Amino acid sequence: MKLSIITIMFVTSVGALALRLPPKYSPPALSAQVLAGIDFDSATPVDESYRAEFDRCDRENKFRNRTMTGFRRCSQDKNRVKALLKFPKGVIFFESKLSLDIDGSWKACNSAGATDQCPTWFKWKGRSGVAANVDADKYPYVAIPIARPDGSSDHEFRDKTGVRKGDLGVVVFKDKVVPVFVADGGPHNKLGEGSTALLKAIGEDRCLQWHDGHCEKVKDSSVEGGVLFFLFPGSAIPDLTPENALQKVRDEALRRFEDLKTVPQ
């Protein structure tokens, strides 16, 4: 049988494309009930080559061809980014691990570990000093990748997803659904970070000693996978304050999460 050069080129191109496409995503079975109605088949990859960089970091401690050292190494706390998707309405979704971020907490400001910081990326308006930071012990928040190894700003995640500081989201783990907002930033090669309050809310409390509402001693270990993040670009609430944040984030984030459920029940 004779094949034309054009036919061979077409078959080769289709085969190469198939190799680059990610497998069809299926969420964890333990979250099926709370995800009922969400059409994951309608979502498309944000950038599969970018997602694959997190996989490479997990295997080789390399990200964008640069070797990651120290706390930036991924092999000891793997990202496990199984999917990075965008729904038709712009909602960003990814599945990954969830590591602990205590920035803004009493401990970070008074007894910080090697990678802890008192300041948070998001600041409360009209507040100064420590009071301007988002307390990780009180507010369920997530961190997104924003910082290069040299300390300069990295915009890749923000540019590809449209997610910005203050945007709202929902984190799902098993049957838990927790409203969150983007209040902190982390290394550009790490995806899946959240506050002490977030881990507690999903049933994975990492605080070993609570006192007067703040955590004095933590177990710094990640939820190793199966954590689902839904982030809503452009959803930041302009008049968010420490007093109204929990209620306003909850109401608006859950409303957007329910709007995502388009499949008839």
Domain ranges of the chain: 27-259
**Average model confidence (pLDDT) across the chain:** 92
- Cα distance between residue 173 and residue 229, in whole Å: 9
Q: What stretches in the chain show pLDDT beneath 50?
A: 1, 3, 6-19, 264-265
The two three-digit tokens of residue 88, written as one number: 């038709």
* Model confidence pLDDT, tens digit, residues 107-138: 999 999 888 999 999 999 999 999 999 999 99
Query: What is the predicted pLDDT for the residue at 235?
Result: 98
- Cα distance between residue 120 and residue 105, in whole Å: 9
pTM: 0.91
Q: Which of 48, 56, 57 is nearest to 86 (CA)?
A: 48
Query: What is the predicted pLDDT for the residue at 262?
Result: 77
User: SS3 letters for the chain?
Assistant: CCCCHHHHHHHHHHHHHHHHCCCCCCCCHHHHHHHCCECHHHCEECCHHHHHHHHHHHHHCEECCEECCHHHCCCCCCCCCCEEEECCCCCEEEEEEEEEECCCCHHHHHCCCCCCCCCCCCECCCCCHHHHECCCCCCCEEEEEEECCCCCECCHHHHHHCCCCCCEEEEEECCEEEEEEEEEEEECCCCCEEEHHHHHHCCCCCEEEEECCEEEEECCCCEEEEEEEEEECCCCCCCCCCCCHHHHHHHHHHHHHHHCECCCC
- Cα distance between residue 164 and residue 172, in whole Å: 20
Query: What is the predicted pLDDT for the residue at 5?
Result: 54
Query: What is the predicted pLDDT for the residue at 70?
Result: 95
Query: What is the predicted pLDDT for the residue at 10?
Result: 47
- Cα distance between residue 265 and residue 254, in whole Å: 18
**Rounded CA Rg of the chain:** 20
Whether the CA torsion 79, 150, 234, 129 is positive or negative: it is: positive
Contact 218, 102 (CB under 8 A): yes
